[in-house]
Chains A and B, each alone.
Chain A
Amino acid sequence: MGELSQMVRGKGLSAVGFAVLAIFGLLAVLAPVFSPYAPVEMDVPMSPPSGRHLLGTDDVGHDILGELFHGARFSLLAGLISGALSTIIGIFVGLVAGYYERLGFAIMRIVDVFLAIPRFPLIVFLAAFLKPGLWTLVLVFVLFGWPRTSRLVRSRVLSERTSGYVDAARVVGADDPHIILRHLLPSSVPIALTRFIAEFQHVILAESGLSFLGLGDPATKSWGMMLHYAFQYPTIFISDVWIWWAVPPGLCITLVVLALTFSGFSLEEWANPRLRKSGLARRTNAPQIFTGGSPIPHRRGARFVLYCTRLVGWIGGR
């Protein structure tokens, strides 16, 4: 992770992205502490911003600022859980599918079917039938989130397998789990992380979209739900209410998605070294010496693997 933090420091934008995410994360976790009113407390409905309610109240008298904080909880939690779960599943399916050829072929045919199914219509369709709620959302998003990640990870594994060090590890006697977990997994993590970011964004946008369409759980406080109620309010556009009722949740969604994009910049460069400025210059056909830092099992004491285009030998050990 040292490499990652280095790049963040070099890139102003991704630093801003991580900072915004951190602030929203903090607000979400500490929502009960920060928010001036509990989400069920009611006051005079439709009161404009004042000292009592910084962003006014909505049509049932809930404090909008408090709703905003609690909305951050739901939106971020849904994105985080769905993104993380589908990434983890995607990584492992991708690793297995990339490493074992026959099995991989079969798995990829299933993935192809999944990828051809249009996601959002199905999510709307499912949401209309299922009982809305956090876990329904997570289930639906994970169900259609993993295939893309697993395809990317698999293609990464396929290219890694031919790049020499996997052969080298096998020659020195490493078994399959060791190669997959110690060599292929770390090299697929960057690309999977960029997928995690994309998935996170997708879930936040899709959740708010579903809620906006009225397919969310009416009882939960989410940014999409706030927009839904605001949009449903008859005179929302004519008065100035929209400024403190509809704009804040909309801006929050936009900000989080944008912050995710920016923080993704550094990850993308990390995942794809060719994007770095010096990346092209470093490509060379000269024989290269790779020295592996991790100890190699079954060859006690062997520290370094040396190969040109093929493995020629290892240094040290028996």
Chain B
Amino acid sequence: MRFVQYLITAFVLVSLNFFLPRMMPGDPLSCLIGDPGADAPILLTEEMRENLAEYYGLNKPLVEQYRDYLFGLTRGDLGWSIYYNGPVSSVLLGRLKWTLFLGGTAAIIYTLLGTLLGAVSAWKRGTKVDVGLLIFVFSLGSWPPFFLGMLLIIICSFKLGAFPIGGAQSPAAVQAGGLEQVKDVVHHWFLPCLALVLTHLPGIYLLTRNSMLSVLGEDYVRTARSKGLQELRVLLQHALPNALLPIVTTIAMRLGFAIMGTMFVEVVFAYPGMGTLIYQASAARDYPLLQGGFLLITAFVVFFNLVADLLYARLDPRARATWVS
């Protein structure tokens, strides 16, 4: 049942990706080359227009185009990027590694830190520690990520000069190679990673805190306490494992958004990942690239949603029933 649903979702997304640009005002061709009202219109004769339409298969019936598009997808063909003049799939893959590196490491850090702080907060509920953490985290969660990134650059890079102002590595270090390069990459990675951790920490923290609080009110925790178990043991052995259930699935879901979540931070720090690529694609009106990027991101999200669902079923026997039926 759930698998069918994911299939439907994937199908809807793939179809949206095909039909949306075609539903928009103007035909895909004017999307490709810019319409006459654009900043730098490319004016075409009727004959050139027809040639182009034939080249891209745009004069075929819509159903046939759709079929070609679906077949292309199964071969990993995402179209041709106009701006980069290359296949969309290889342009995307070239940028993916930086996003996975930045988003992945940040995800590990904010997950661990958020869970830890959330558990402490729930344990010390109502005390100064809890209230202090809550206010701090809430204030943190209200900053737009790009604004936070800007402030970090201004203060840490321009004023203090402690970090590079952008990019993922410097050409000199790439040439030097070895340890020098590793140091350089880490140096470039630190600020964007910090920005990501700061913007994503509140979500995990609050979730852990809420989850722990609801678990601490359960009867089995009271039983464990009344048996005379030590507080720490109650917390670690009885409460935390049960509280982790929603956390684990949320983390799995968040990983799917890791690619998109890095977008603003990447743009601000000019980090050469997917986010910057999509930003450039939308600025350059490179629609095939934009569509390909959208498809890749949504595929990630849907896939990790599925993982989260499966994980949940695996961890919670009560949820398994919905998969069987």
Contact = CB atoms under 8 A, between A and B. Distances in A.
A128 B287 CA distance: 9
A79 B256 CA distance: 26
Q: Give the dominant DSSP class at B's interface.
A: helix
Contacts of A258: 138-139, 142
Nearest to B259: A121
Contacts of B302: 116, 118
A124 B278 contact: yes
Interface string B125-155: 0000000000100110111111100110110
Given A118-B301, A262-B138, A212 B294 contact: no
Contacts, number: 111
B142 A261 contact: yes
Interface stretch (B4-12, B184-192, B312-320): B4-12
A129 B24 CA distance: 7
B81 interface: no
A118 B282 contact: no
Nearest to A201: B142
A318 interface: no
B283 interface: yes
Contacts of A255: 142
Interface in A236-258: 237-238, 242, 246-247, 250, 253-255, 257-258
Q: Give the dominant DSSP class at A's interface.
A: helix
A174 interface: no
Nearest to B11: A113
A247 B155 CA distance: 12
A150 to B, nearest CB: 17
B69 interface: no
Interface residues of A, number: 42
Interface in A182-239: 201, 205, 208-209, 212-215, 227, 231, 237-238
A164 B135 CA distance: 39
Contact of A250 (B13, B138, B150): B150
A117 interface: yes
A47 B176 CA distance: 45
B61 interface: no
28 contacts: A112-B5, A113-B9, A116-B5, A116-B6, A116-B9, A116-B302, A117-B13, A118-B256, A118-B297, A118-B298, A120-B260, A121-B298, A121-B301, A122-B16, A124-B282, A128-B287, A129-B24, A130-B24, A131-B25, A212-B146, A212-B264, A213-B282, A254-B144, A258-B142, A261-B138, A261-B142, A274-B217, A280-B217
